[in-house]
Structure 1
Amino acid sequence: MVCTFLSQQPRLYHVGPLARIGPNHLLLSDPDAIRKMLAARSLYTRGPWYDSLRIDPHRANLITERDEKKHRVLRQQMAAGYAGNDVDELESTINERIAEWISYIRCNAASDASKTVRFDMARSMQYLTTDVISHLCFGEPFGFVKTHGDVYGFIATLESRLPFIENFSVIVELNRVLSAICSVPFLKNRLLPQPTDEDGLGKIVGISRKVVDKRFEPNAVPQNDILGSFLKNKIPREQAESEITISLFAGSDTTATSLRGTILHIATNPQVYSRLVNEISAASIAGKISNPMANEEAANLPFLQACIKEGLRIFPPITSLRERAVPAGGDTILGHFVPAGTNIGINMAGTMLNEVFGHDADVFRPDRWFEKDPAKLNRMERVHELVFGHGGTSCLGIRIANMTLNKTIVEPLSWYILSARFLVENYIKG
């Protein structure tokens, strides 16, 4: 098998802890200042940048809600679902999807002496993560892995929309123009995705609506999936449609990005790769890894955890600005007075190159997470945890994301180790 990965997206490296990138826009990479800005009791509010992520400019969701009180209520209502607390068989569902993925690779992507199979591992990982999140949200997968294709044009829609979202997030005035235009029903129906569309985002919206409608039928049985958790915690019907649709995009793409970045760096570093394989092999021989591996077993593989941390650090899954507006009266940031209303974006790629990680912060080196100085390691951990947000912006789906990362990185290597061991044992037997 010859695996190819999608090209690495451009990264915004250190441009200084505070930089001006527009007439009313600053970029921040100082971890302490970011933590203060995102703190639960912070007076900073979500800026107009978030409007660019709305599917419907007149309806906010958990990601795009700018009213802080409404946002807090939504987080409370959705926390149990995204954390998996209300989801039956969370881990076994992820195991099932990964098993199907491994089976596909074995049958369709394995090279042998007679042929070399070209296999786009990066795209395949996105098929996997989309099936995982759709299964957890709706109770069954969309079938990306089974068909190994872009079901409903979901991924194509996501990737084609991103350039427009980027423009709308930079020129925020465009969001107000779009909102005004979409106030006219005739124009709204032609500009925005519709549930009756045959593919793309509209198709996903339509599926979400049908699934939600079934949950409200007279004899409907409550289901313990993410959507069921939303409804159980009193998320209104239309809001549930919006939330479950956006969760498919947010949950699948970020996890796929994390997997791609981490596995790419492991696979292209022979020393790291060998050490990780040896750790998994030793744990397997000692009976410390089940088949499939349990999440708690993965947590006890220190080098695996170091690789995942380093992968998230060197290639953060979310590098968008996520701008916050400076509160009334202005604020002083790193010795500079910043007027009220200024939009401050987060430079996560630059933050993850903070000096606390050492002079080689731009190098993928998992060994840095075995730092012997407890105080320095704690400082590193504090900066690194910002990858998943902070305070009222912390990622609600971190448990699902970590579980998927743990299992997806280990399972292909476990298959390789078991196959190699089988060949060696049979060779010895003659």
Structure 2
Amino acid sequence: MLSLDASTFNIIALFPVILIAYIALKVSYNIFLHPLRSYPGPILCAASVLPLHKVSLDGYYHTWLHDLHKTYGPVVRHAPNNLSFIEPEVWNEIYGHKSTPLFQKSFEAYGPDIFGGIPEPGLLRANDVSHARQRKLVAHAFSDKALHDQQHLLKHYVELLVRKLKEAIQTDPNSKVDMVNWYNFTTFDIMSDLTFGEPLKLLEESTYSPWVRSVFANVRLLQVGETIRAWPGLEILSKVIAGKTMMAKRKLHMQHAIDRVEKRMALKTDRPDIWTHVLRHNGSAEGKGKGLTQKEMYSNSGLFMVAGTETTATLLSGLTYYLLKNPKKLERLNKEIREAFAKSEDMTMTTLGQLAYMNACISEGLRIYPPVPGKLPRLAPKGGAMLRGKFIPEGTTVAMVQYPAYHSESNFKDPDSFIPERWLPEGAEEYGTDHRGIVQPFSVGPRSCVGKNLAMHEMRLVLASVIWNFDMQLCEESDTWADQKVYILWEKVPLMVRLQPVR
């Protein structure tokens, strides 16, 4: 039997006292001496990260922070070292090209690249120099020329969506369909074809593949990982906390991307997918050390399959819900789309871009239900920086958080109401004071979304095609559909809708 001498016993006995003293000193420093002590916010948030981490894991970060901004104003200290802003000017000051010194991306929030891309991570985690090199190459695949070349591919999957929806309601006109699923099937098939040279066949089989389910699980795992990494010593337990099932899904996501990229690279083809455009320019740059490495290709393909699918399907789902909750808005949109096109073949990138009311609806959908409702964290650079006329100490995490910014009465009149007219000249008299420029769902600056043009055309084409072909009615069980949790992205529930083919 082990025995403890008096000195060892005293040390062990003192440990709780030392721990309590450390916590007390840390809390006191955060409240009374911390460089951010003058910024408004709850005293508990100034004292500890616990309130932030609790609401993040509970899925209510977006509404919690919205309530804090209502109480404390346009800037809130919601953790000892974290500031949230909702003023329009902050976009350019934090994220813009002219931010000097530049606020750096907070890589800690994203965790390590699952493809082991060190020192070769993809766009999401690359440093500024590597990001600029990769983005220059990848941008060719998302240019207007590339999008024009890809139009027929998008049309193929949208036509398949319409056909499958008609089949789903053919036997029973009163049957219900989950539009969240159908939008996801469409966006994943499109992006898989563009990224890997072949679809996932979700539309054909009308169900999710195991790999797509792993994508959804991996997004939530990112939220858990971000919280764990904030506590020294806990990161080594992350695999245990995440569980074997979650880690297996993450591994499945990684291996699927690797296998599909390698299969696509083995093809000799000029089909207008992402890699055709990238490889066309990669060869000449590679010899100078400026091409994409293999690990960067793996990582970026995984990024495209999340950023180019879930977010687009999210906007389509949210916009469909708000249109169904506002029948007069939907009626006006129905009229515009159905009068604009005699046949579906007339829907092109150019003609869809000319539909003023549909584009206003999409803008309002992006405002009221932003696909990325949370934060895009940045760190104040070495030596600190000025932001909104005040000095921000180095290492401070700052962010424009989209949901509270877009739902703030300081930025929009009737912020919780779906009003597409605020984006049209006819709404200038009533909504002319709206800060519409604050709505930047694709972010701004050098790290803004490279696939914005593709996403916008995809949204227009899918929405217009569904409305041109169907009358829609919201089912009672989806009446409060928008009341959702957020784990990086929205945790969407089924959106049950009844469809009636337009005669």
Relative to the length of structure 2, the TM-score reads 0.70
The residue correspondences of 1:346-361 to structure 2 (distance < 5 A) are 346-355=400-409, 358-361=412-415
Asked if 1:51 corresponds to 2:129, the answer is no
- 1:47 deviates by 1.3
Partner Cα distance (2:60, 2:366) in 1? 14
- Distance change in 2, residues 1:313/1:397 (3 Å): same
- The answer to whether residue 273 in structure 2 is matched with residue 225 in structure 1 is yes
The answer for unaligned runs of 5 or more in structure 2 is 1-58, 283-290, 472-499
Q: Are 1:92 and 2:180 matched, yes or no?
A: no
Cα distance in 2 between the residues matched to 1:398 and 1:277: 25
- The equivalent residue for 2:385 is 331
Q: Secondary structure at the match of 2:84?
A: strand
Which of 368, 384, 387 matches 1:314? 368
> Aligned runs of 1:165-184 on 2, under 5 Å?
165-173=222-230
2:196–2:261 CA contact under 8 A, matched in 1: no
Q: TM-score, normalised by structure 1?
A: 0.81
Does the 8 Å contact 2:413/2:434 carry over to 1? no
Matched, 1:149 2:204: no
**Corresponding position of 1:302:** 356
- Equivalent pair of 1:332/1:338 in contact (CA under 8 Å): yes
Once residues 233 and 468 of structure 2 are traced to their aligned partners in structure 1, the CA distance between those partners, rounded to angstroms, is 51
Q: Which has the larger radius of gyration?
A: 2
Equivalent-residue separation in structure 2 for 1:278 and 1:9 (angstroms)? 37
Q: Distance in 2 between matches of 1:170 and 1:17?
A: 25
CA contact (8 A) 1:325 1:342 kept: yes
Q: Tell whether the 8 Å contact from 1:215 to 1:221 is kept in structure 2 after alignment.
A: no
Residue 68 of structure 1 pairs with residue 125 of structure 2: no
**Structure 1 residues 360 and 203, CA gap change in structure 2 (3 angstroms):** same
Query: 1:142 deviation in Å?
Result: 0.7
Pick from 451, 458, 468 the counterpart of residue 414 of structure 1.
468
Of 161, 165, 189, 1:101 maps to 161
**8 Å CA contact 1:46, 1:323 repeated in 2:** yes
| 2:338 partner letter | S
Stretches of structure 1 that go unaligned for 5 or more consecutive residues are: 1-7, 183-189, 423-430
What count of residue pairs does the alignment treat as equivalent?
393
- How far the C-alpha of 1:164 sits from its partner, in A, is 2.7
Q: Specify the alignment match of 1:388 in structure 2.
A: 442
TM-aligned CA deviation for residue 45 of structure 1: 0.5
SS at match of 1:52: coil
How far residue 300 of structure 1 moved from its aligned partner, in angstroms, is 1.6
- How far apart are residue 135 of structure 1 and its match? 1.1
Cα distance change, pair 180–172 in 1 and its aligned pair in 2 (3 A): closer
CA contact (8 A) 1:57 1:178 kept: no
What SS does structure 1 have at the residue aligned with 2:404? helix
Distance 1:125 1:319 in 2: 19
Match of 1:5 in 2: none
**What is the alpha-carbon distance in structure 2 between the residues aligned to residue 53 and residue 290 of structure 1?**
45
Structure 2 counterpart of 1:425: none
In structure 2, the partner of 1:402 is 456
Percentage identity across paired residues of the two chains: 21
Whether the aligned pair in 2 keeps the contact of 1:352 and 1:383 (CA below 8 Å) is: yes
How far apart, CA to CA, are the structure 2 residues paired with 1:54 and 1:176? 20
Instruction: Summarize the Cα distance change of 1:413–1:377 in structure 2 as closer, same or farther, 3 Å threshold.
Output: same
CA displacement at 1:211 relative to structure 2 = 3.8
C-alpha deviation, 1:267, in angstroms: 1.3
Instruction: Find the aligned partners of 1:264 and 1:9 in 2 and give their Cα distance.
Output: 20
> Residue 324 of structure 1 contacts residue 344 of structure 1 at CA under 8 Å; is this kept in 2?
yes
Deviation at 1:301, TM superposition (A): 1.4
Distance 2:277 2:403 in 1: 34
Deviations 1:208-235 (A, max 9, x none): 3334334555x84455311233333331
- Counterpart selection for 1:37 from 94, 98, 103: 94
The residue aligned with 2:417 is: 363
The amino acid of 2:110's aligned partner reads D
Q: 166-175 vs 96-105, which deviates more?
A: 166-175
Say which SS state the counterpart of residue 341 (structure 1) adopts: coil
Letter in 2 for 1:227: W
Q: For 1:158 and 1:177, locate their aligned partners in 2 and report how far apart those are by CA, in whole Å.
A: 24
Deviations 1:296-317 (A, max 9, x none): 1112211111111100111111
2:179 aligned with 1:118: no
Distance 1:281 1:264, change over 3 A: same
Distance 1:344 1:10, change over 3 A: closer
Could you say which residue in structure 2 is the equivalent of 1:212?
A: 261
Q: CA shift at 1:345, angstroms?
A: 2.5
Partner residue in 2 for 1:254: 311
Residue 221 of structure 2 corresponds to residue 164 of structure 1: yes
**What SS does the corresponding residue of 1:149 show, helix, strand or coil?**
coil
Aligned equivalents of 1:342, 1:275: Cα separation in 2: 47
SS in 2 for 1:100: helix
Specify the code of the residue in structure 1 equivalent to 2:363. Answer: K
Let me know the Cα RMSD of the aligned residues: 3.2
- CA–CA distance in structure 2, aligned partners of residues 282 and 87 of structure 1: 25
Match of 2:493 in 1: none
